[in-house]
Amino acid sequence: GYALTRKFRVFGTVGQDWNDYLSTSGTDGSSWSAGLGWSPTRRTSVEASFGERYFGNTYSLSASHRTRISQWTASYSENVSDITQQFLEQTSRIFWVCNTGIAVRETQDVTNPDATSCVGPVSSGELAQLVINSIPGVTVADLVAANLLDVSIANGIYVIKSFTAGVSWDIGRLGFGLSARDTRRLYQALDGAQDHVQGLTGSVNYRVSPRTSAYSSLSLTHKNIDALLSGGTAREDDLLSLSLGLNHRFAEKLNGALTFRHTQRDSNDANSDYAENSLTASVNKRF
């Protein structure tokens, strides 16, 4: 990049894409982008760029503004990725493989949900490897049902267009947050078939005392999946997730937490509806 003035700068990139995807051809080509950055104050910055890659024109935007008690952010980006990225984004989740009932189950901690029929814990990457190696007991449909994967691995590469925005406030003992996202993935092997995810999350935190804090969050997500991606019938899911909890520091290296979670999914696929309530207590000792 190059600074034109103290408030303006320009930047750009030039490159080449070389990809070797089994499911999609024509994914090589030159790429370039050019953009402008503006920082009118030390608390505000905006960057925008335009470019081109093998799949067409690309755009990006990033903006942030900070006040004494708040932080505001917004961003838009377009990129290309493949299905493995979905697994990388889920590395913190805990799963179990069960031979009765639901084949792939998720828990909030490492407590086995059914010691007589479930083995684990396993990571999202380990689950993917089971499917890739065709190990009996876990299928792509099981990963979709666990909300880990939206479409078949065979669909391969996609162009992802993502917008996010958020704001947070810190007012004394209270902290508030609100964020929104809108993501579209266009699958190149399926003539641009896409899935569309829209989400809104709100959170409130309160410092009860120097040792104790309470927190809550509510998340609403709406998913649309084209028929080509979901096996013949377009799918719509509405997900709701509510969390309430307390954190307490008993001693310098001893912490505890109590968390209640409610998760609910409503879908036009009747077999995909579910509701779950969980209450988790944990103690963490550092040595």
State yes or no: pLDDT of 134 exceeds 60: no
Distance CA 43, CA 212 (A): 32
More confidently predicted of 140 and 10:
10
* Spacing of C-alpha 239 from chain mean position: 14
Average pLDDT over residues 150-172: 79
- Phi, psi (5° rounding) for residue 69? -125, 0
Question: Per the structure block, which two tokens stand in for 216?
Answer: 């809550």
pLDDT band of 51, cuts 50, 70, 90: very high
pLDDT, residue 273, reads 85
State yes or no: pLDDT of 191 exceeds 80: no
Average pLDDT over residues 255-261: 92
Question: Per the structure block, which two tokens stand in for 263?
Answer: 């998760």
Distance CA 197, CA 166 (A): 16
Model's pTM, two decimal places?
Answer: 0.71
State yes or no: pLDDT of 151 exceeds 60: no
pLDDT, residue 53, reads 86
Question: Per the structure block, which two tokens stand in for 70?
Answer: 């708040």
Asked, as a colleague might, if the bond just before 113 is cis with ω within 30 of 0, I would say no
All domains in the chain, ordered by first residue: 46-81+160-285 (2.40.160.10), 84-150 (no CATH)
